[in-house]
Amino acid sequence: MRKSIATVSVSGTLPEKLEAIAAAGFDGVEIFENDLLACPLSPEEVRSRAADLGLGIDLYQPFRDFEAVPADVLAGNLRRAERKFRVMERLGADLLLVCSNVSPDAIGDDELAAEQLRLLAGRAAEHGVRIAYEALAWGRHVNEYLHAWRVVRMADHPNLGTCLDSFHILSRGSDPIGIEAIPGEKIFFLQLADAPLLAMDVLQWSRHYRCFPGQGNFDLAGLTASVLRAGYAGPLSLEVFNDVFRQASAERTALDGMRSLIALEQSLDGVRHPAVPAGFAFAELADTGTLGGLLTALGFARTGAHASKPVELWSQGEARLLLNSRAQESHDGPALVAIGLDSPDPGGAVKHAGSLLSPVLPRERAPEDAPLDAIAAPDGTEIFFCDTAWLADFGQGAPVEGSVTRIDHVALTQPLHYFDEAALFYRGVLGLRPQESLELPDPYGLLRSKAMSSPDGAVRMVVNIAQVGAGHHPWQHIALACDDVVATARRLRAEHPDLLLPIPDNYYDDLEARYEVDPELRHLGVLYDRDGRGGEFLHLYTVTAGRVFFELVQRIGGYQGYGAGNAPIRLAVQHAGA
Amino acid sequence: MRKSIATVSVSGTLPEKLEAIAAAGFDGVEIFENDLLACPLSPEEVRSRAADLGLGIDLYQPFRDFEAVPADVLAGNLRRAERKFRVMERLGADLLLVCSNVSPDAIGDDELAAEQLRLLAGRAAEHGVRIAYEALAWGRHVNEYLHAWRVVRMADHPNLGTCLDSFHILSRGSDPIGIEAIPGEKIFFLQLADAPLLAMDVLQWSRHYRCFPGQGNFDLAGLTASVLRAGYAGPLSLEVFNDVFRQASAERTALDGMRSLIALEQSLDGVRHPAVPAGFAFAELADTGTLGGLLTALGFARTGAHASKPVELWSQGEARLLLNSRAQESHDGPALVAIGLDSPDPGGAVKHAGSLLSPVLPRERAPEDAPLDAIAAPDGTEIFFCDTAWLADFGQGAPVEGSVTRIDHVALTQPLHYFDEAALFYRGVLGLRPQESLELPDPYGLLRSKAMSSPDGAVRMVVNIAQVGAGHHPWQHIALACDDVVATARRLRAEHPDLLLPIPDNYYDDLEARYEVDPELRHLGVLYDRDGRGGEFLHLYTVTAGRVFFELVQRIGGYQGYGAGNAPIRLAVQHAGA
């Protein structure tokens, strides 16, 4: 399907926006009026700039507060419209978005609205322009998409149709199945935006928090399916107002928008996700010698070394960590650089990721090495899709049994501008499902956190962004599933007490006030959480080494969370020690 | 009055918070429980740390979801409370904040709530603890302050009183005059927070957007007056949850909180504001030779030079600009460094600013110079309070008449963390009144803008913060009142066309669609705005020189705004040329 995007969705001046949008592979744009008004190029120049870039101008928008007004206001509105039609002719745009009237002076009379829109459509026809009438969620009288359609049908003019905007429909909780009552040829345009569920004024929600399909909580695929079932054959067009996108790179935002539309199309086409990983194959850390001691203390052993690279394999149970002394550490020391995922079809997984515009990484490898297919996550972390062949490169070490059984989850701290992009990446490329989204206090700001999991829980990722001031530490961590955190903590407390993150006694005073827990937890520095269904969570943290620390976690009784309530305690202790 | 602040209001670890709070001169603190839980110091150590800093612990908070619960839940809640009483004994805190129950399991039965709170108060008494019961704005059943008082009166226990929180009262639109129905000795605590008026979920509003008294839209003085009239004699205590404060310097935030309480006290004491300035005396620019040509083109002339410093006076009508070749330019060139205000009482103005903790600046001056009293604004701009004596230092130049008559307003771009502080500064220290607050699109982000004005409009300041990505230009500007912008623009267009910021034709296509304006505006690059009451605004911008540009403005028919709708056009053109 044809793919478009409104210029307001990306940052920059209008020429910069057009270039970024074209580079991302879009077919067309909606010209947002303010972008044109602020542009020194004439409409003719914008038209030819767009044409040179291979972009059609699919829509000009918005035209506000037109319909259902007293006669004297109508005259001025028609005069205003005539001027806009002339601009559109110069621009080569033939579709104008008219938003439902929000003025307190608008009259609640559908017949009047229809009559005036019919008049407008007639004038538009003289300029070869068609009108797409849209119900804003905060329209004065018309704020439901079916109401807008009723008015359009009453007006009954070939140059008048409706524009559907997923945000305006879904933010009000309207059921999009009613779209199937609209003849496809009367749906003149479809604007797509997702959004997180937020309890706030819908206007503010719309103006600041929209995001691309798949990044929020709306069912865009369901809505789009209804639009297609109605017979719509126009473009899928993104229209996003987002405070973060406004500040981000236009190229990156446009590419992410394109990714979201490809993913949406794939889900509509019933493309099955080929790449849901079955577990973590490994996590790879840049390390020049710091981590061996910590891993040994945790019960890991060095079970292999790469045949041709300075990379060691450390194992315990099914948990495998690669220590790479050639990869780049952070300026503070060790850093997480790559994640290996057990994939039933590594080649298919990379191909799927490529179809979603993820950068596929070149592999420099010795001729005898196992092929490893890798892509880059939004923050640059390398993601490898593995079968078991890669292990052969590290020799045949004896298995190491201990209390750690496997990697439970990996937590990555993202730059602010990549948070929504990362959510879409882990969902679209890896097939993870969003779990909880949280905001946690940090001593110097807030940590926003989004957890995602494969359907069976075998792969869990936590994506964080730290909105903090001075003293920002973008920690990453690897959480290791452990079948007896208390016993392991006892051993660590006895043998390596300095490796455990010290948990304040005050935490335990509170914990013991809330739950009847074993007093030994306090002595050991083990943290505890309980969910509403009786599930329990025992966990402990190591001190940090560079950007990295480890967590041992034990899930009891179906606990699905991450002990998020304890994270502020951890952050405060880490900051105090940093 | 005693002044306190909740530890949650400032950033850092608990010891850092206590130090910053003590340094700002507070008498006491509310210990926010999460700050204690995350702290490695024992409650005894926190107590002695606070005592060493001269801080009392006035409140421990919050204790949640206690009252109006089934019997089995009550037993657990009492057990939880006993543990907290013990922590409070160790901490030396004797007042516990109990928030109204928000649990869906809470029972809507005031008698049950009162009975259980009476029981809690009895247990508290055994530990020397008193209970302050507060209605959260989102409490399940009790969410109005008078409802909380009704329950407290029913419970009738000497160790049970109510806590009043201005946010919870004013965010719901409740009238605080009802506070005067509560006997003062039953008001155990008063928490103060202001907030901007936002249309959003009250919980999110409370958790992220509270600010200090005088920084938002609530009438804190009116509420506090009612509390004092009721006979309350406890502390004024700030409790603010604010995403920006969380990331800012604790020292600076605490000082600003103290400033807000001093200003509140002054308004309660009927202290008259001594310093409302009568106009702009001058604006001073760091300049090493760039600006003279631009000012000459605008009709200014060099009318004097400082007797002992490398500072020139440029004048036109009552508009006076100082070009200081010794002051520090920005790395881009000229910068605004100081503002002189005509003050009826310069000494009193500085004394008043000092009482509000503004830094009073030392004056290095030659013995023969006129004394100039100055303070530093939050962004470092120097503010001088002047009578007319300072002019003598620059010699007696002939008056220069032209179309520019005076300085209309000055716009300063602030660092993000200083926005609320700046609002309080200009309101409290200079006596300006807040006008419109706006969010404007910038090609690379958003510009938040707050305009303030003296009651007669003689002094107007616009405080901006730019939330933008790459290419951030923290422009400042001086707007000059002009009695004929069109004529001046004609002259500039003819003589100095390169000094006018070029305004896109597309802007005029839209302007002419909306209003019947003189087509010459387009030719001249003059912008236009109209308000809802027939007031009109004509203005033009010069190109930027370093961080600075000039605007010529003409207000017609009582127009009070700043042409904010045209600012996005300006920003886009400035970015494109930067």
What's the average model confidence in pLDDT over A341-362?
Answer: 91
Angle between the N-to-C axes of helices B419-428 and B250-268, in degrees from 0 to 180, rounded to the nearest 10: 30
Which range among A147-151, A464-468, B178-182, B480-484 shows the weakest confidence by mean pLDDT? A464-468
Identity of the residue in B246, B441, B504 whose CB atom sits nearest the CB atom of A40: B504
Domain residues for B326? 279-577
Omega before A235 within 30 of 0, i.e. cis: no
> How many CB pairs below 8 A link A and B?
160
Whether the pLDDT of residue A96 is over 60: the answer is yes
Same domain, yes or no: B220 and B311: no
Domain count along chain B: 2
Same domain, yes or no: B179 and B283: no
The interface pTM score, or ipTM, of the predicted complex is: 0.88
Domain boundary at A242, A268, A294, which? A268
Which range among A81-95, A316-330, B268-282 shows the weakest confidence by mean pLDDT? B268-282
Residue A25 burial by Cβ neighbours in a 10 Å radius (0-12, 13-18, 19+): middle
**A273 falls within a domain:** no
The pLDDT assigned to B85 comes to 98
Domain boundary at A224, A249, A268, which? A268
Contact A298, A337 (CB under 8 A): no
Mark yes or no for CB contact A203/B199 under 8 Å: yes
User: Which tens digit of pLDDT belongs to each residue from B484-526?
Assistant: 999 999 999 999 999 999 999 999 999 999 999 999 999 999 9
**B511 falls within a domain:** yes
Mark yes or no for CB contact B509/A13 under 8 Å: no
The pairing of strands A3-6 and A28-32 is parallel
Interface check A493 vs B, CB under 8 A: no
Omega before B62 within 30 of 0, i.e. cis: yes
CA–CA dist B332, B574 (Å, integer): 14
Same domain, yes or no: A40 and A137: yes
**A274 falls within a domain:** no
Q: Which residues of B touch A87 (CB under 8 A)?
A: 506, 509
User: Which tens digit of pLDDT belongs to each residue from B432-490?
Assistant: 998 888 888 888 888 889 999 999 999 999 999 877 765 566 789 999 999 999 999 99
The pLDDT assigned to B367 comes to 65
Contact B85, B123 (CB under 8 A): yes
Amino acid found at B431: G
The pLDDT assigned to A466 comes to 79
What's the distance, Cα to Cα, between the start and end of chain B in Å?
52
Burial readout A429-448 (b: 16 or more C-beta within 10 A, e: otherwise): bbbbebbeebebbbbbbbbb
Tell which A residues from 37 to 76 touch B, by Cβ distance under 8 Å. 37-43
How far does CA A142 lie from the centroid of its chain? Answer: 32
Identity of the residue in A443, A502, A507 whose CB atom sits nearest the CB atom of B12: A443
CA–CA dist B229, B235 (Å, integer): 14
What's the average model confidence in pLDDT over A212-230?
Answer: 96
Interface check A569 vs B, CB under 8 A: yes
Largest CA distance in chain B: 88
Q: Which residues of B touch A470 (CB under 8 A)?
A: 249
Query: In the numeric block, which tokens belong to residue A136?
Result: 């804003």
Q: What percent of chain B has pLDDT over 90?
A: 80
Interface check A517 vs B, CB under 8 A: no
CA–CA dist A347, A387 (Å, integer): 10
Mark yes or no for CB contact A510/B38 under 8 Å: no
Chain A residue with CA closest to B508: the answer is A37
**B274 falls within a domain:** no
Q: Cβ neighbours of residue B65 under 8 Å, at least 6 residues apart?
A: B77, B99, B101, B102, B103, B106
CA–CA dist B542, A448 (Å, integer): 42
**A484 falls within a domain:** yes
Confidence label for A84 from pLDDT (cuts 50, 70 and 90):
very high
Chain A residue with CA closest to B203: the answer is A199
Q: What percent of chain A has pLDDT over 70?
A: 98
Interface check A204 vs B, CB under 8 A: yes
Identity of the residue in A37, A83, A84 whose CB atom sits nearest the CB atom of B504: A37
CA–CA dist A126, A119 (Å, integer): 11
The answer to whether A165 is a known ligand-binding residue is yes
Q: Which residues of B touch A507 (CB under 8 A)?
A: 37-38
Interface check B105 vs A, CB under 8 A: no
CA–CA dist A132, A288 (Å, integer): 62
What's the average model confidence in pLDDT over B174-182?
Answer: 96
Same domain, yes or no: B239 and B321: no
Same domain, yes or no: A411 and A458: yes
Chain B residue with CA closest to A507: the answer is B37
User: Which tens digit of pLDDT belongs to each residue from A356-378?
Assistant: 999 998 876 666 677 778 999 99
**B308 falls within a domain:** yes
Q: What percent of chain B has pLDDT over 70?
A: 98
Query: In the numeric block, which tokens belong to residue B542?
Result: 């010069």
How far does CA B86 lie from the centroid of its chain? Answer: 39
Mark yes or no for CB contact A576/B469 under 8 Å: no
Q: Could you tell me the CATH number of the domain that includes residue A344?
A: 3.10.180.10
What's the average model confidence in pLDDT over A549-563?
Answer: 96
Whether the pLDDT of residue A149 is over 90: the answer is yes
Q: Cβ neighbours of residue B271 under 8 Å, at least 6 residues apart?
A: none
The pLDDT assigned to B471 comes to 55
Neighbouring C-beta atoms of residue A456, cutoff 10 Å:
9
3-state SS, A483-494, equals CCHHHHHHHHHH
Average pLDDT, chain A: 93
**A444 falls within a domain:** yes
Per DSSP (E only), the strands in A64-192 are: 95-99, 130-134, 160-165, 187-192
Interface check A274 vs B, CB under 8 A: no
3-state SS, A221-283, equals HHHHHHHHHCCCCCCEEECCCEHHHHHCCHHHHHHHHHHHHHHHHHHHCCCCCCCCCCEEEEE
Mark yes or no for CB contact B38/A573 under 8 Å: yes
Interface check B527 vs A, CB under 8 A: no
Contact B388, B340 (CB under 8 A): no
Tokens 């509000």 — which residue? Answer: B356
Mark yes or no for CB contact B504/A39 under 8 Å: yes
Contact A340, A346 (CB under 8 A): no
Mark yes or no for CB contact A199/B201 under 8 Å: yes
Chain A residue with CA closest to B502: the answer is A40
The pLDDT assigned to A396 comes to 72
The pLDDT assigned to B413 comes to 87
Domain boundary at A268, A302, A334, which? A268
Mutation target to probe the B interface, by most B beta carbons within 10 A, among A37, A73, A201, A529 is A37
Q: Could you tell me the CATH number of the domain that includes residue A201?
A: 3.20.20.150
Least Cα distance to B225 among B171, B177, B159 occurs for B177
Identity of the residue in A84, A470, A575 whose CB atom sits nearest the CB atom of B13: A575
Same domain, yes or no: A298 and A382: yes
Same domain, yes or no: B380 and B258: no
Same domain, yes or no: B233 and B290: no
Same domain, yes or no: A444 and A572: yes
The pLDDT assigned to B519 comes to 96
Mutation target to probe the B interface, by most B beta carbons within 10 A, among A46, A204, A506 is A506
The pLDDT assigned to A273 comes to 75
What's the average model confidence in pLDDT over A454-469?
Answer: 88
* 3-state SS, residue B235: coil
Mark yes or no for CB contact B38/A198 under 8 Å: no
The answer to whether A239 is a known ligand-binding residue is yes
Tokens 């204790």 — which residue? Answer: B63
Confidence label for B578 from pLDDT (cuts 50, 70 and 90):
low
Same domain, yes or no: A264 and A321: no
Whether the pLDDT of residue B365 is over 90: the answer is no
**Dihedral, B69, B72, B75, B79 alpha carbons, nearest 10:** -100
3-state SS, B141-164, equals CCCCHHHHHHHHHHHCCCCEEEEE
The answer to whether A473 is a known ligand-binding residue is no
User: Which tens digit of pLDDT belongs to each residue from A410-459?
Assistant: 999 887 778 889 989 999 999 999 888 888 888 888 888 999 999 999 99
Angle between the N-to-C axes of helices B14-23 and B250-268, in degrees from 0 to 180, rounded to the nearest 10: 40
**Nearest chain A Cα distance for residue B355, angstroms:** 29
Interface check B504 vs A, CB under 8 A: yes
Whether the pLDDT of residue B277 is over 90: the answer is yes
**Dihedral, A110, A114, A120, A121 alpha carbons, nearest 10:** 140
User: Which tens digit of pLDDT belongs to each residue from B217-249?
Assistant: 999 999 999 999 999 999 999 999 998 898 899
What's the average model confidence in pLDDT over A295-299?
Answer: 97
Confidence label for A184 from pLDDT (cuts 50, 70 and 90):
very high
Contact B10, B253 (CB under 8 A): yes
Confidence label for A395 from pLDDT (cuts 50, 70 and 90):
confident
Q: Which residues of A touch B37 (CB under 8 A)?
A: 504, 506-507, 509-510, 569
The answer to whether A551 is a known ligand-binding residue is yes
Confidence label for A578 from pLDDT (cuts 50, 70 and 90):
low
The pLDDT assigned to B495 comes to 96
**Nearest chain B Cα distance for residue A204, angstroms:** 8
Whether the pLDDT of residue A147 is over 80: the answer is yes
Annotated binding-site residue numbers of B for Mg(2+) = 409, 477, 551
Mark yes or no for CB contact B514/A37 under 8 Å: no
Mark yes or no for CB contact B43/A506 under 8 Å: yes
The pLDDT assigned to A291 comes to 96
Chain B residue with CA closest to A82: the answer is B513
CA–CA dist B272, B147 (Å, integer): 36
Confidence label for B65 from pLDDT (cuts 50, 70 and 90):
very high
The pairing of strands B28-32 and B56-63 is parallel
What's the average model confidence in pLDDT over B282-300?
Answer: 95
**Nearest chain B Cα distance for residue A220, angstroms:** 25
Mark yes or no for CB contact B199/A198 under 8 Å: no
Q: Which residues of B touch A171 (CB under 8 A)?
A: none
Interface check A138 vs B, CB under 8 A: no
What's the average model confidence in pLDDT over A492-502?
Answer: 96
Q: Which residues of B touch A530 (CB under 8 A)?
A: none
Q: Which residues of A touch B75 (CB under 8 A)?
A: none
Same domain, yes or no: B380 and B529: yes
**B357 falls within a domain:** yes
**Dihedral, A101, A102, A108, A112 alpha carbons, nearest 10:** -20
B204 or B484, which is more confident: B484
Same domain, yes or no: A248 and A299: no
Least Cα distance to A20 among A357, A255, A262 occurs for A255
Reading phi first (left if > 0) and then psi (alpha if -120 to 50, else beta), residue B398 is in: beta
Chain B residue with CA closest to A41: the answer is B504
